[in-house]
Amino acid sequence: MKRKLIILFGAIILGATQTYSSPTINDVVTTIPTENGNVELPEPPQKSTDEEIQAGWKLEKNYTALLQSKLNVFVPLEILSDIDINAVVIDDEELNIPFELELNKEPEKKDYYKLKFSENEIDIDSDGKIDTFIYSPKYINQRIVKENYVQIKGKNISKDGDYYKKIYITIEVDE
């Protein structure tokens, strides 16, 4: 009795594998389902000479496919304006020179982005005393930042002359 059951069970497995087996490499799909119906594919060319092989297939039907793509593009916050500050300091005069910075867009988050200067306290005449200070608001919340100013203390400048200093400004994230 056991032998008959085993043979019967083996026949069911063999039939199932033949029914659900995947197509082999030699099977050729002749139709492709689309929204507008099935597209019939031509038979592969059976060419034998080099000229026939180079000629390729003849175009029987032409279809246009429209694709749509969506991208998520992130544009970083950037400083657009360059600032040149020219000042004449006489004796012990103290100057407060306001300046504005323009950004490429309004910041998405409030109280998140900060201005970072390469130097906030500068010794412009290299005598060892800090004489120039840069002040800016703690956070950038607008496209045009207006509350910036440079303070120059003439009493700390000991040498007469023309002085130039390049300061770099970057935007940093408060974490």
For the chain, give the mean pLDDT.
79
CA distances (Å), origin 20, targets 9, 27, 43: 17, 15, 25
Identify whether 13 is part of a domain: no
Distance CA 127, CA 157 (A): 8
Question: Please, which pLDDT band fits residue 10 given cuts at 50, 70 and 90?
Answer: very low
pLDDT of residue 16: 42
- Nearest one of 169, 131, 128 to 150, comparing CA atoms: 131
Identify whether 144 is part of a domain: yes
Question: Please, which pLDDT band fits residue 44 given cuts at 50, 70 and 90?
Answer: low
Task: Residue 121: give the domain boundaries.
Answer: 94-173
Whole-angstrom Cα Rg for the chain: 39
Say whether pTM exceeds 0.85. Answer: no
Identify whether 127 is part of a domain: yes
Distance CA 110, CA 130 (A): 33
Identify whether 33 is part of a domain: no
Identify whether 157 is part of a domain: yes
Question: Please, which pLDDT band fits residue 115 given cuts at 50, 70 and 90?
Answer: very high
Q: How many domains does the chain have?
A: 1
Identify whether 115 is part of a domain: yes
* 8-state DSSP, 43: P
Identify whether 88 is part of a domain: no
Identify whether 1 is part of a domain: no
Pairing of strands 169-173, 37-40: unpaired
- Nearest one of 64, 69, 59 to 34, comparing CA atoms: 64
Beta bridge partners of 79: 103
